[in-house]
Amino acid sequence: MFYNEFTEYFDIGVCAVWLSQQDLEIHQVRFLNSVKPLSEQRGKLTDRQLIELYEWMVKARVFDQRAMKLQRQGRIGTYAPLQGQEAAQVGSAYAMGPEDWVYPSYREVGVSITRGMPMSSFFLYAMGHPRGLRQTDTNIFPVQIIIGAQCLHAVGGAWADQYSGKNSVNVAYIGDGGTSEGDFHEALNFAGVYRLPVIFFVQNNQWAISVPLEKQTASQSIAQKALAYGIEGVQVDGNDVVAVYHVMKDAVERAKQGMPVLVEAVTFRQGPHTTADDPKKYRTSEDEQSWQVRDPITRMKALLLSAELWDEEKETKLLKVAEEEVAEAYREALELEKGKLEDLFQIVTDPAPPQLASFGNGRKGGDRRW
């Protein structure tokens, strides 16, 4: 018996037995900057939707640039910029429904404001105010600092929704560096086994903190990692907001049908990992310049101009409105009363257990043991 299996192994050829990623073809979804007609580049989006996508991307960048300046002036704490990733964030958020849930990392400003979170909340968060963590009306979980943990939280939320029969999708946002964390793989495995309504949206911005993608994984893509867990996977041009929107729209529908999805949005972080980072120490100006020509806002503006949906007068007005909104959001954050330690416990539990309920009355002789 052993002899027969041995000879058969060599008769069929080694290449037919061993799995090889060279046999896998990765086709990246892209709509913009191609030879396709204008109607095909816009896909199924209306004029109004194209303009709204552009407006949200511009607002996200204006916020980002102001936040960077405020941090350098010492007015807010450490900040993780998103410049260059506006299409990935806005396009994916725009494709979701109001019933869907977002589990962000620390860089999802574009996602969150598109989903309705006030800009002032981000300033509050960067100032260390407890109110910056709490958003009960936008289906957005608090910012997750622990790398990859939000993937497990999204799986838990998806399982709960599946159990209760809700028609909603749970979306975890993570970077390419986070895909090396165990939490990411555990979440994908669990999602595949239980066929959960969850999407793992990876913003592959090429660098994690200072580790280039080729040192992060030996795979041709991050999208192909979905195959190992029996879920759907797709790679999209993350600087093409039209493509991101259509891919995410399809992903939401698949997830609602019990097909978890891993989306890899290939993009580029134009700035530092955070304001505590110096990208000049690990990447070259050539790296940055090669991606500048693929800037997501520049590409979308070109589409709008070619479709005669935009002009410089509208551009000037949009920038003015965006700058005013960001300035007002910062003023709102400054004027809010400073948070107290007990506020943290009130946010976490409702109603508070006896041990925590008495904490707020500690100055009046309550039991402060907790």
pLDDT digits (tens, 9 = 90+) for 134-170: 666 889 999 999 999 999 999 999 999 999 999 999 9
The answer to whether 26 and 204 have CB atoms below 8 angstroms apart is no
The answer to whether 107 and 82 have CB atoms below 8 angstroms apart is yes
Supply the DSSP string of 102-160, one letter for each residue: EE--S--HHHHHHTT--HHHHHHHHTT-GGGG--TTTTBPPP--STTHHHHHHHHHHHH
Q: Is the pLDDT of residue 310 over 90?
A: yes
How is residue 79 written in tokens? 């900040």
Q: What is the pLDDT of residue 366?
A: 39
**Residue 92 CB burial class (10 angstroms; 0-12, 13-18, ≥19):** buried
Annotated catalytic residues are: 269, 273, 282
pLDDT-above-90 percentage for the chain: 79
pLDDT digits (tens, 9 = 90+) for 31-89: 998 778 888 899 999 999 999 999 999 999 999 999 999 999 999 999 999 999 999 99
Rounded CA separation 91/93 (Å): 6
pLDDT digits (tens, 9 = 90+) for 56-69: 999 999 999 999 99
Q: Is the pLDDT of residue 360 over 70?
A: no
CATH 3.40.50.970 is held by the domain 27-339: yes
Band (7; pLDDT cuts 50, 70, 90): low
Average pLDDT over residues 236-263: 98
Q: What is the pLDDT of residue 242?
A: 98
Rounded CA separation 340/86 (Å): 34
Neighbouring-strand partners of residue 198: 170
The answer to whether 231 and 259 have CB atoms below 8 angstroms apart is yes
Q: Is the pLDDT of residue 341 over 90?
A: no
Band (317; pLDDT cuts 50, 70, 90): very high
The answer to whether 299 and 30 have CB atoms below 8 angstroms apart is no
Band (4; pLDDT cuts 50, 70, 90): low
Q: What is the pLDDT of residue 1?
A: 46
Average pLDDT over residues 181-189: 98
Q: What is the pLDDT of residue 15?
A: 61
Average pLDDT over residues 231-254: 98
Q: What is the pLDDT of residue 12?
A: 59
Place of tokens 């002009």: 311
Q: What is the pLDDT of residue 195?
A: 98
pTM metric for this prediction = 0.91
Mean pLDDT of the residues in the chain: 91
Rounded CA separation 18/183 (Å): 28
